[in-house]
Structure 1
Amino acid sequence: MTQQGIGAQVAEAIAELLRRQTREGVYAELTAGVDPAVDAATYPVLSALARWGPRSAAALATEIGLDRSVTSRHATRLERAGLVLRSPDPDDARATLLSLTEDGQRAIAAMRGRLARRLDRHLADWPEAEARAFAAALTRFVREEPFG
């Protein structure tokens, strides 16, 4: 297979992963029963805060690709559930930062555990060396920031 052919194959696989229907299905599975405020819509807010730490709603919106007002609305819902905390931004008195509470951290840990177990089940039929090579190659691909 030529490099161009490999690129096309990878592009198709990424497109399938990024499909809204695919994401929402995974998010629904991960969030089931965690908290009524946690669903496919609010999951990206929690996940991003866990991954990148405290952020303003505007910065978080940019990171997750949602409108600022939508991100703020989701954050408010999560704040009311005790999963997200708003606090003054020490670098900008006009802004507030969103961060995870301990309950939010526990929720993320539970959901990430579910995701890891789901992926382990999916890869269980792969030869171990192939699964490890896939994980290493995917990690390398992502870390090299092909689009960043």
Structure 2
Amino acid sequence: MTAFARRARASAGRLHPELTLVSYTLLGHLEESDGGRATDLAAHYGLDKSTISRQVTALERAGLIERRPDPADLRVHGLHLTDAGRRILAQVTESRRGAFRERLVGWEEADLERFAGYLVRYNATAEADDQAGAGQ
């Protein structure tokens, strides 16, 4: 797992020079959740608010996200992907998919199915653990 995480961090810079693995992860989360607040990101990833603040500032400066007032409470600002943010996220996602396809070429169908099943199982367990931890 450590080697897997190291490769993921190392490959992030190769996929897009402006996008770290953390930046990619935050952009992906904002896309999936159709925006969100910095405090929600900090809580979701278990990161310090100052860490998220630095990441958000960098993403804003790069023009990949923007702050918008929340229509339900104008005192609150949500973070949303810009068109440029969506484009870069799509490019990096496609690059990552291509890299996975290259690594898995030649694998037998049964091996791919087992591998996919294990990943689904692992992610479901991790998500359940995350939700249980959030309820504490």
User: Shorter-chain-normalised TM-score: which range?
Assistant: 0.7 to 0.9
TM-score (norm 1): 0.72
The CA deviation string for residues 55-86 of structure 1, in whole angstroms up to 9 with x for no partner, is: 00000111222212211221111111110011
Match of 1:91 in 2: 72
Unaligned runs of at least 5 residues, structure 1:
1-15
Which protein has the bigger helix share? 2
* 2:7 aligns with one of 25, 29, 42: 25
Q: Could you list the per-position Cα deviations for residues 21-58 of structure 1 after superposition, in whole angstroms to 9, with x for gaps in the alignment?
A: 7435313313436353x223423221221222200000
| Residue of structure 2 in register with 1:130 after alignment | 111
One-letter code of the match for 2:85?
G
Structure 1's 131 and 54: CA in aligned 2 closer, same or farther, altered over 3 A?
same
Structure 2: stretches of 5+ with no match in the other structure: 132-136
Are the counterparts in 1 of residues 30 and 80 from structure 2 also a CA contact under 8 Å?
A: yes
Residue equivalent to 2:23: 42
Q: Comparing 119-128 with 48-57, which one deviates more in the overlay?
A: 119-128
The letter for the 2-side match of 1:100 is L
What does the per-residue CA deviation read over 1:75-130, in whole Å, with 9 as the maximum and x for residues that have no partner? Answer: 11111111001111122222110011111111111111122122222222321222
1:50-129 mapped onto 2 (5 Å cutoff): 50-129=31-110
> Would you identify which runs of 4 or more consecutive aligned residues in structure 1 move more than 6 Å?
none
Q: CA RMSD in A?
A: 2.3
Identity %: 32
Q: Matched residues in 1 for 2:15 and 2:128: separation?
A: 36
